[in-house]
Amino acid sequence: MANPPAVFATDEAETIVEIDGGAGKHVEPELWGLAPYQWVSVAMLVLLVIAFAVAKVHKTIGGGLDARIQAIRDQLDEAKQLRAEAEALRDEYTKKIADAEVDAATMRENAQREADAILAKAEADSTEMVERRQRMAEDKIAAAERDAVDDVRKRAATAAAAAARTLIASKHDAEADRKLADEVIAGL
């Protein structure tokens, strides 16, 4: 140890070392008869007295805590309100979904009924059209038959008249004409 550190001591904080049986005794420094931990306690007490009495820190701390408590209560109330609104929205959308499902089922039923009605009408219209066309065909066939019968009758009448003319002309003479005229006149 070349140069030991220098220790400075003041008169107020002297360390007295007494040798008693070979062991040293350590004495704490004191100021006005108070040890350092006592001075710290006194300083703390003075600080607290000043803080509570003069600066009214306890009211500030209490006010701050009260404000914080009120803010937390407000947040809890807002959270409750938001939860109630969320539940109301959930219920509303649940109801809307249920209503939409009912509406969809109703629309499906209406569409099925309309489709069935359209199908029935189409079947009725097609049946009516088939019957009408069948009647038209039957009417055309009947008209053609009438025309054919009329044509046959005309030809038969023409053939009968021609045959009667020929027959009358060959078998009938002036005497038969007079006799026939007399019969007609007598019949009137």
The total of structural domains in the chain comes to 1
Residue 82 belongs to a domain: no
Residue 27 belongs to a domain: yes
Residue 85 belongs to a domain: no
Residue 125 belongs to a domain: no
Indicate if the pLDDT at residue 76 is higher than 70.
yes
Q: How far apart are CA 181 and CA 187, in angstroms?
A: 10
What pLDDT is recorded for position 57?
67
Of the pLDDT bands very low, low, confident and very high (cuts 50, 70, 90), residue 176 is confident
Domain ranges, residue 41:
10-54
